[in-house]
């Protein structure tokens, strides 16, 4: 398995290169990135969409941490097809050994306890007012896996077709170039996001949360004489 050495991964003493990828995410199916089982105080909705207060108004958004989780597990699946011995995220011993043995491609992009992430994924805020629907569902008794007609819940979701502002920063990785293996995985991630899409949030098994990336552009900066200098840009 190819391992990335500390020169490539523990390199945060110096920002040599910064690529900013921007575009829009569109949810093609209903989307709910939830706030968990806990209903917000006074809410008539039990499974609510996560929101953030902007200028005094609550607005739904897709947390960067949710996107990062989806991107990481997608790249993990890609990498596992080349490296069947790739560790799982909960194999803490393998993660701890990476500092001396070299980092796997997934940790070398997304970080782990020892190494900072080489990508930053921002919260995706809606570009316009997203329309939200509420539906009532019939609860499933988890013990008997049977429908209990008496149990109802309400569920909120963002209707398909909403656009969300996307930004991801890529630090010290030669992207979209060919020289760094991590760049190949990131390019595959963006290609998949543009064509097939990836799912985020709840109810993925019934197709919810399918997002696609549109209008993706990148700008790459390098630090020259103490200033950020644009060295490359284009469409993805």
**Which positions touch Zn ion (CB under 5 A)?**
104, 107
Which has the closest alpha carbon to 231: 177, 167, 152?
177
Q: What's the token pair of residue 112?
A: 């782990």
Q: Which residue is nearest to Zn ion (CB)?
A: 107
Spell out the alpha helix ranges (H) of 121-230.
Answer: 181-195
CA 220, CA 58: separation in Å to the nearest integer?
A: 34
Nearer Cβ to Zn ion (25/104): 104
At closest approach, how far in Å is the CB of 174 from Zn ion? Answer: 20
CA 10, CA 107: separation in Å to the nearest integer?
A: 11
Residues 6+ apart with CB under 8 A from 43: none
Nearer Cβ to Zn ion (83/153): 83
Residues 6+ apart with CB under 8 A from 62: 25, 31, 33, 123, 124, 164, 200, 201, 211
Nearer Cβ to Zn ion (50/107): 107
* Contact of 217 with 22, CB cutoff 8 Å: yes
At closest approach, how far in Å is the CB of 158 from Zn ion? Answer: 33
At closest approach, how far in Å is the CB of 115 from Zn ion? Answer: 9
Write a three-state SS string for 144-157. CCEEEEEEEEEEEE
Which has the closest alpha carbon to 158: 52, 36, 30?
30
Nearer Cβ to Zn ion (70/104): 104
Residues 6+ apart with CB under 8 A from 169: 18, 19, 20, 21, 119, 120, 122
At closest approach, how far in Å is the CB of 89 from Zn ion? Answer: 8
Nearer Cβ to Zn ion (46/98): 98
Nearer Cβ to Zn ion (22/94): 94
At closest approach, how far in Å is the CB of 207 from Zn ion? Answer: 31
At closest approach, how far in Å is the CB of 99 from Zn ion? Answer: 10
């Amino acid at each position: 398995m190819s391992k990335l050495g500390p020169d490539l991964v523990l390199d945060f003493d110096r920002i040599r290169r910064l690529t900013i990828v921007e575009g829009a995410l569109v949810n093609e199916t209903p989307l709910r990135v939830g706030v968990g089982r806990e209903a917000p105080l006074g809410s008539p909705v039990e499974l609510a969409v996560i929101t953030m207060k902007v200028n005094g108004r609550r607005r739904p958004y897709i947390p960067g941490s949710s996107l990062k989780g989806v991107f990481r597990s997608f790249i993990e699946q890609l990498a596992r097809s080349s490296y069947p011995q790739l560790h799982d995220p909960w194999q803490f011993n393998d993660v701890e050994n990476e500092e001396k043995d070299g980092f796997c491609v997934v940790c070398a992009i997304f970080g782990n306890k020892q190494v900072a992430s080489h990508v930053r994924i921002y919260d995706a805020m809606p570009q316009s007012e997203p329309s939200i629907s509420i539906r009532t569902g019939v609860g499933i008794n988890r013990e008997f896996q049977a429908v209990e007609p008496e149990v109802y819940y309400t569920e909120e979701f963002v209707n398909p077709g909403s656009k969300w502002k996307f930004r991801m920063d890529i630090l010290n990785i030669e992207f979209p170039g060919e020289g760094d293996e991590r760049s190949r995985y990131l390019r595959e991630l963006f290609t998949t996001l543009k064509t097939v899409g990836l799912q985020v949030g709840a109810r993925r098994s019934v197709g919810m949360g399918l997002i696609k990336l549109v209008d993706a552009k990148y700008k790459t900066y390098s630090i020259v004489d103490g200033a950020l200098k644009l060295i490359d840009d284009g469409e993805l």
